[in-house]
Amino acid sequence: MPENTPRISHRLLAFLGVIALVLIAVFISLRSSNTSPVKSESTERQRPGESQRIVFPLASMEFEMPRGWTPVENVVLPRDIDGFLLGFQKEGTSCILAYANPDRERMYESYQQTSFADRVFGPGGEFDRPQYDSSWYIRKADSPVGFEFQWEGRARHEKEVRIMSHAFTDTREGFGVFLLFDEKGGIVADECNRDANSVLASILPYYETVDLTAASEGVLYRHHGKLMFRGRDDVPRIVSDLGTSDAQVYENAVYFIKDEKALTRIDPFTKTEKSFEFPLSRGAVINSFHIDSGSAYVLVGDPCGYMDECGQRLYGIELVTGKTVLLAEEALNHIEGIDPVANALVVEMSWGDAGCWATTVYHYPFVEGSLKELGKFDGCEHDEVSAGMANRTEVVKNVRGTVRRYAAVSGGTLRPVSETYKEEWGTTGFTFIE
C-alpha cells in the first residue's frame, strides 16, 4: 500500500492541474467578455501612484484621475439626479466624483444654484483651450430659510453638488456631466474640489476608429469635423476625417469639401474617395455646396466671412460623368436647396452681426439658366415680430428636404432615418434631415 501512494499523488496532481486549467480558461473568458465602458491606462509621463489615465469611450473622452481616487460601482447619486455611468471615491473621505447622463430638465427643476465654482481651462493653445464654468447646487427642498445666491466665493451647504459639463460627448441624449458631492450629505472637502478641477483640466477628446461592414448597424453622422458612427453599444467611433467641411449623404456615399478645395465623395464602407475637379483661381475656396438628383452645386470664390459680400461662381457638376458647367457669377455665399415648384436652385447672400441679419434670396431656374432675385429681407433677434424672417420663410418654403446629413446604416447601405429609427436611437444632438 505505501508503495502505491506516490502514484496516486501524481494522478491527483494531474487531475487538479486539469481543474486549474479549466478555471483559468473560464476566468480569462469572463475577463474578455467584460463590457465595462471604461479603460484604465498608464502613460509615460505618469509616475506609479501619482495619477491614472482614464479612457471613457462612451463619453468620447479621456482624463487624468488624481492619486487617491478609486473606482466605485453602484453609486447612489443625489436625489433627483439619475443616469449614473462612472464613479470614483477619494480614499479616506466620503467624496464622490461621478459622471452621469441625467434627465437634465428634472435635475435643474429640482436644484438651485448656491454659488459659482472655480473656472477651469483644459489643454490646448492660447486661443482654443476649452473653458469649464460650473456651479454649486442644492435641492430646492433642502434650501435653508432665507437662502440667497452667493455671488462672491463658494457657498457651503449640506447636501451640495457641484455640476460640471464638458465639451466632447455626443451621446444620443446630449452632453453628460461630472458630479462632485459628499455621499454622507455633508459639505464637500476642499481637497476633493481641487481634484475635480484637476480632472477637468486634463480632459482630452478620445475616439476609437471603426471599419463599417455589411453587419454594421447604427447611425452615421458628422461631429467635430469627423464622419462618425454610433452602433448598438452607443460608443461614437470615427469612420473618416472630414476636416472643417459640412457633410451631405446622397445615395450610398457621403459628400464633403476636402481642404476647402475639392468636392469629394467617400464610400463609408470602403473609405475610398473620389474628388471632382473644376477651375479654382489662386486663393479661391468652395464656400457652399448642395447635392440633389444626380447633380452637385458649388459656390466657388474668395473665402466668405460672416459680413462679407462674396463674388462667387456657381457651378453645376454631374456626379456620374463629372462634367462641370459654370451657371452664374454673383455675390452669393449659401446654397439653400431645390425649389421643385419653381424647378429652381435657391441661393442666398447673407450676413449677420450683433444679433441682426440681412439676406438676398435668388432663384436659379434651370429652364431659364439665369439668377432671379426674389427679395431682400432683414431683422434682429430682439424684434418682437420679425417680418423679415417671416417673409424669407415664405419665399423658401418650397425648398424640399432632400439633403441628408445623417443616415441609418444597415445591411451595407445608407438609408434615410425613418421616424421609427429616430424613436429607437434618439434624436437629441442629431438633427436628422432627410
Q: For 401, list phi and psi in degrees, rounded to 5.
A: -85, 65
Round to whole Å and give the CA distance between 293 and 326. Answer: 18
Identify the pLDDT of residue 293.
85
Whether 346 and 373 have beta carbons less than 8 Å apart is answered as no
Torsion, Cα 273 276 281 287, to 10 degrees, reads -80
Residue 262: in which H helix or E strand, if any? strand 262-266
Q: Do the strands 407-410 and 218-223 form a parallel or antiparallel pair, or are they unpaired?
A: antiparallel
pLDDT per position as a tens digit, 224-234: 788 889 888 88
C-alpha–C-alpha distance, residues 399 and 397, integer Å: 6
User: For position 12, what pLDDT does the model report?
Assistant: 42
DSSP 384-416: SS-HHHHHHHHHTTT-----BSSEEEETTEEE-
* Amino acid of residue 149: F
Burial class (CB in 10 A: 0-12, 13-18, 19+), 401: exposed
Nearest to 236, CA basis, from 248, 247, 220 = 220
State residue 420's pLDDT score.
55
Q: How far apart are CA 136 and CA 116, in angstroms?
A: 6
Handedness of CA 330, 296, 421, 217 (dihedral sign): negative
Kindly tell me the burial class for residue 430, based on how many C-beta atoms sit within 10 Å of its own C-beta (0-12, 13-18, 19 or more): buried
Give the fold, CATH level 3, of 208-425: Lipocalin (2.40.128)
Longest dimension (CA), the chain: 110
Q: How far apart are CA 243 and CA 4, in angstroms?
A: 76
Determine the 3-state secondary structure of 44 from DSSP. coil
With beta carbons less than 8 A apart as the criterion, state whether 329 and 316 touch: no
Q: Where are the domains of the chain?
A: 39-205, 208-425
Block residue for cell numbers 470614483: 88
Q: Is 24 helix (H, G, I), strand (E, B) or coil?
A: helix
The conformation of residue 59, written as its DSSP 8-state character, comes to: G
Residues of the chain with pLDDT under 70: 1-49, 125-128, 167-175, 305-309, 331, 382-391, 393-395, 397-398, 400-405, 417-434
Q: What is the DSSP string of 110-128?
A: HEEEEEE---EE-SS-TTT
- Nearest to residue 176, comparing CAs of 72, 87, 96? 87
Tally DSSP H helices, then E strands, for the chain. Answer: 5, 31
The DSSP-derived string for 276-314 is: E-----TT-EEEEEEEETTEEEEEEESPPPTT---EEEE
Query: What pLDDT is attached to residue 70?
Result: 95
What are the grid coordinates assigned to 100, written together?
452621469
SS3 content of the chain, % helix, strand, coil (to 5): 15, 40, 45
pLDDT of residue 222: 82
CATH of 39-205, one of 3.30.70, 1.10.3470, 3.40.1000, 3.40.5: 3.40.1000
Grid-cell match 429681407, residue found: 377
The residues, any chain, with a CB within 8 Å of residue 60's CB and separated by 6 or more, are 168, 169, 170, 205, 206, 207, 236
Place of cell 434627465: 103
